[in-house]
Structure 1
Amino acid sequence: MAATSRDDEAEWLYSQLMAGAAGTGNDQVVACIYASWSSGAGAMPDWLGLTPVGFKRLMAHHFPGARLGATPNPGRALPVARRDEVEDLVRLMWQHRAEDSLTVRWMAELVAAGCLGSDHLWQDLGLWSRADLTALMRRNFPSLAALNTKDMKWKRFLYRQLCETEGIRLCRSPSCEECCDYHVCFGPED
Structure 2
Amino acid sequence: MNGADYWLRRLLALYWGGQAHFPARMGLPAVAWQELLVRLGCVEPAIAPGQIEQQALIGLLLHSRRNERQQLAQWLAQSLTADAAPMHELIATASMGFDHLWQDLGLDSRAELRELMSDCFPELVRLNQQNMRWKKFFYRQQCMRSLGEIVCRAPSCEQCCEKSLCFAEESD
TM-score (norm 2): 0.81
Q: Distance in 2 between matches of 1:60 and 1:132?
A: 25
* Partner SS for 2:72: helix
* Aligned residue number for residue 161 of structure 2: 180
* Worse-superposed segment, 116-125 or 88-97: 88-97
TM superposition shift of 1:51: 1.3
* Aligned residue number for residue 23 of structure 2: 45
What is the correspondence of 1:126-165 to structure 2 with a 5 Å cutoff?
Answer: 126-165=106-145
> Could you say if the C-alpha distance between residues 157 and 147 of structure 1 is closer, same or farther in structure 2, counting changes exceeding 3 Å?
same
TM-score (norm 1): 0.74
* Aligned residue number for residue 110 of structure 1: 90
What's the CA shift string for 1:14-61, capped at 9, x where partnerless?
A: xxxxxxxxx121233223322222232232111111012211221221
What's the CA shift string for 1:67-105, capped at 9, x where partnerless?
A: 433256332326222111111111111122222x4xx23
CA contact (8 A) 2:16 2:45 kept: no
Give RMSD over aligned pairs.
Answer: 2.2
CA contact (8 A) 1:29 1:132 kept: no
* Worse-superposed segment, 30-39 or 88-97: 30-39
> Could you say if the C-alpha distance between residues 71 and 60 of structure 1 is closer, same or farther in structure 2, counting changes exceeding 3 Å?
farther
Q: How many residues align structurally?
A: 162
* Partner SS for 1:30: helix
State the 4+ residue runs in structure 1 displaced beyond 4 angstroms: none
CA contact (8 A) 2:94 2:101 kept: yes
The answer to whether structure 1 residue 166 and structure 2 residue 135 are counterparts is no
CA contact (8 A) 2:11 2:105 kept: yes
Q: In percent, how many aligned pairs have the same letter?
A: 35
CA contact (8 A) 1:47 1:55 kept: yes
Q: Distance in 1 between matches of 2:95 and 2:154?
A: 23
The structure 2 residue matched to 1:35, chosen from 13, 31, 38, is 13
The answer to whether structure 1 residue 77 and structure 2 residue 55 are counterparts is no
